[in-house]
Amino acid sequence: MIQNSKEACVFNALETAATEIKKRHLMTLFSEQPNRAYTYSLEVDSFYLDYSKQAIDDNAFKALINFAQYQKLEAKRDAMFQGDKINHTEDRSVLHTALRNTSQINSKFPDIAQEIESTKIKMLSFVDSVISHQHLGHTGKAITDVISIGIGGSFFGPKMLQSALIKNASNKIKVHYLANIDGDQIANVLERLNPETCLVIVASKSWTTAETQLNAQSVLKWFQDTLPQKQAIQKHWVALTAKPEQAQEFGIAEPMIFPMWDFVGGRYSVWSTIGLPLALSIGSKAFTQVLEGAASIDQHFLEAPLDKNMPVIMALLGYWQQAYFDLNNLMVLPYSHSLKSLPAYLQQLDMESNGKAVNSQGDNITNSGPILWGAEGTNCQHSFMQLFHQGKQSGMIDFILPAKGHDKYPEQHKLMVANCLAQAQALLQGKTLTQATNELLASGMNQESADSLAKHKTMPGNTSSNMLIIDEITPHSMGALLALYEHKVFCQGILFDVNSFDQWGVELGKSLGKNLLNSMNTGNIDNLDPSTAKLLEFININN
């Protein structure tokens, strides 16, 4: 509900601009403004963002910037970087940016800054000692494999960056991730490994996550079948957690416990000790470059004016399409096989952050974070892109394209670039009935057949998309990419006025899961709803 005249002014400007824009096809916007590609594009650090294929003009863009100012975006940004307790429902600061660079908190929170720096040094020197074989296993063998047990934010970040930076991976250490509670996957991983040459990492901020605790117990049994000695755990097991006492109770030695902190959200934690498996794969130097890339985007976010601020612009465009064009899903299409895990990483980042139903006051809201999905290009073209070209559903689209490919395969890369740009063109231009008919006639088809087939070949186009070019996939640019999306999500949280840093909605499923497990163990299904009771009966898991 509109509260005051200023607010009315802001939203009326947005409404008016949207009404005007909807009257015109995107192609018309290009003919009206041929230099749009210069007006609506931005180059920052490793990125070139082209948003000229978005349904905006100068009025709309101005109205959006006014809206960001009305939502006090800059003040809320500064409050986060300075450590104010902006995660008000958990009474916590949000300081994942300080993991990249502590300069914003050095004066206000010198102890935290000191602890962040000393922990980073401890972690990276441990990485160097394992890779250089200074740190050996209990039987004196070098560590060749790492089993990283963790889920959600304690898994997606390291896994995604490790596959993105496969070129940087040392061939000395192989990292195997165990996230889900899937016996087949666990068996498949363990049967190929030898505990004497394995480092086992238990990554869990809360140390309460059921999947991680159960998997850790199963791997511990496998480990102790070969190395039962108490000292062996001390050489091979590592904990990454905000609950060091519980990790010690588990049996992990104090020097092998690397702290995580409450002021770092799980889905914002790859920069912390949660990044250890990644650092063991790519080395401490490359891990530091990942942090530097993110810190460089933090600086841009902090300093650039709103209308030249890449995460702010991406957030406003997303808000605009959701609020005024009813697009409730965001498709992220990385045109790179090594970025194939990016959509899964962004799903947790965006949907666990902004998938909320009440605003900062606890009042119900009509709009919040989008459904995020995606897959690698060009595979997506031979799968779901048909629907986006001719279907009745649509969504927001981020194309992500590295400008540089693999030196040995220049033809593959040229074709990748051509296809990625062509998809955005086809979504923009579409194909009219006349164009389809003329093509068929030009192919020698008779008028009647051409008229009937052309109807099936027309494509509306007029579908907006962002094109984000990354100069090259490097540790720096990957750190920058994740920080860019972190800040975009943060800005959208401000535009929707939600708390992007809690996730209360995950708790009910966890507690019901516990009850159900108990029912399965005791056989008592009295308190279950009939559907769940019948399902358990059918599964009959205890026999």
Which of 267, 356, 487, 488 touches ligand F6P (CB under 6 A)?
A: 267
Query: Cα-flanking dihedrals φ and ψ of residue 353, to 5°?
Result: -85, -50
- Write down the H helix ranges in 33-86: 36-39, 58-70, 73-81
CB of 110 or CB of 505, closer to ligand F6P: 505
CB of 266 or CB of 479, closer to ligand F6P: 266
Q: What residues from 296 to 355 belong to the interface with ligand F6P (CB under 6 A)?
A: 352
Which of these ranges, 59-67, 199-207, 335-343, 413-421, lies near ligand F6P under the rule CB under 6 A? 199-207
Q: DSSP assignment, residue 249?
A: H
Q: What residues from 412 to 471 belong to the interface with ligand F6P (CB under 6 A)?
A: none
Q: CA 215, CA 34: separation in Å to the nearest integer?
A: 58
* Overall residue count recorded for the chain in this entry: 543
In whole angstroms, the minimum distance from the beta carbon of 353 to ligand F6P comes to 10
CA dihedral 529, 532, 535, 537 (to 10 degrees): -60
Number of residues that bind ligand F6P (CB under 6 A): 14
CB of 158 or CB of 405, closer to ligand F6P: 158
Site string for ligand F6P, 148-187 (x = CB under 6 A): ---xxxx---------------------------------
In whole angstroms, the minimum distance from the beta carbon of 159 to ligand F6P comes to 13
Q: Is 93 in the site for ligand F6P (CB under 6 A)?
A: no
In whole angstroms, the minimum distance from the beta carbon of 211 to ligand F6P comes to 8
Cα 96 from chain centroid (whole Å): 14
- Write down the H helix ranges in 240-384: 244-250, 276-282, 284-303, 310-325, 342-354
CA dihedral 24, 25, 31, 35 (to 10 degrees): 100
Q: CA 337, CA 400: separation in Å to the nearest integer?
A: 11
- List all residues 6 or more positions away from 70 whose beta carbon is below 8 Å from its beta carbon: 6, 7, 10
Catalytic residue among 6, 72, 230, 510: 510
**How many other β-carbons are positioned within 10 Å of the β-carbon of residue 23?**
7
In whole angstroms, the minimum distance from the beta carbon of 480 to ligand F6P comes to 22
CB of 75 or CB of 214, closer to ligand F6P: 214
Catalytic residue among 352, 356, 486, 487: 352
Q: DSSP assignment, residue 370?
A: P
- List all residues 6 or more positions away from 350 whose beta carbon is below 8 Å from its beta carbon: 330, 369, 370, 372, 485, 489, 492
Which of 206, 299, 390, 419 touches ligand F6P (CB under 6 A)?
A: 206
- Angle formed at CA 279 by CA 348 and CA 222, multiple of 5 degrees: 80
Which of 92, 159, 205, 476 touches ligand F6P (CB under 6 A)?
A: 205
Site string for ligand F6P, 488-517 (x = CB under 6 A): ---------------x--x-----------
Burial class from Cβ neighbours inside 10 Å (0-12, 13-18, 19+) for residue 413 reads: middle
User: Which of 394, 491, 173 has the alpha carbon at shortest distance from 385?
Assistant: 394
- Is the four-CA dihedral 398, 19, 29, 59 of positive or negative sign? negative
- List all residues 6 or more positions away from 162 whose beta carbon is below 8 Å from its beta carbon: 169, 175, 277, 278, 281, 282
Residue 513 token pair? 């899961």
CB of 209 or CB of 273, closer to ligand F6P: 209
Which of these ranges, 78-86, 205-213, 290-298, 478-486, lies near ligand F6P under the rule CB under 6 A? 205-213
Residue type, 389: H
Which of 195, 259, 266, 370 touches ligand F6P (CB under 6 A)?
A: 266
Which of 104, 212, 394, 492 touches ligand F6P (CB under 6 A)?
A: 212
In whole angstroms, the minimum distance from the beta carbon of 392 to ligand F6P comes to 34
In whole angstroms, the minimum distance from the beta carbon of 206 to ligand F6P comes to 3
Catalytic residue among 382, 392, 408, 456: 382
Which of these ranges, 204-212, 221-229, 304-312, 316-324, lies near ligand F6P under the rule CB under 6 A? 204-212
Which of these ranges, 202-210, 231-239, 297-305, 396-404, lies near ligand F6P under the rule CB under 6 A? 202-210
Q: What residues from 365 to 394 belong to the interface with ligand F6P (CB under 6 A)?
A: none
> Is 382 annotated as catalytic?
yes
In whole angstroms, the minimum distance from the beta carbon of 319 to ligand F6P comes to 24
Give the chain's radius of gyration (CA, Å). 26
In whole angstroms, the minimum distance from the beta carbon of 16 to ligand F6P comes to 40
Q: CA 535, CA 68: separation in Å to the nearest integer?
A: 49
Task: Check whether the bond before 378 is cis (ω within 30° of 0).
Answer: yes
CB of 135 or CB of 205, closer to ligand F6P: 205
Side-chain-side CA neighbours of 481 within 13 Å: the count stands at: 29
CB of 65 or CB of 147, closer to ligand F6P: 147
In whole angstroms, the minimum distance from the beta carbon of 265 to ligand F6P comes to 7
Query: Cα-flanking dihedrals φ and ψ of residue 200, to 5°?
Result: -110, 120
Query: Cα-flanking dihedrals φ and ψ of residue 329, to 5°?
Result: -135, 150
Residue 455 token pair? 């109807």
Which of 204, 296, 429, 466 touches ligand F6P (CB under 6 A)?
A: 204
Q: Are 154 and 205 in contact (CB under 8 A)?
A: yes
In whole angstroms, the minimum distance from the beta carbon of 146 to ligand F6P comes to 17
Q: CA 247, CA 516: separation in Å to the nearest integer?
A: 27
CB of 81 or CB of 345, closer to ligand F6P: 345
CB of 38 or CB of 504, closer to ligand F6P: 504
CB of 15 or CB of 249, closer to ligand F6P: 249
Instruction: Please report, as ranges, the residues that interact with ligand F6P according to CB under 6 A.
Output: 151-154, 204-206, 209, 212, 266-267, 352, 503, 506
Residues labelled catalytic: 352, 382, 510
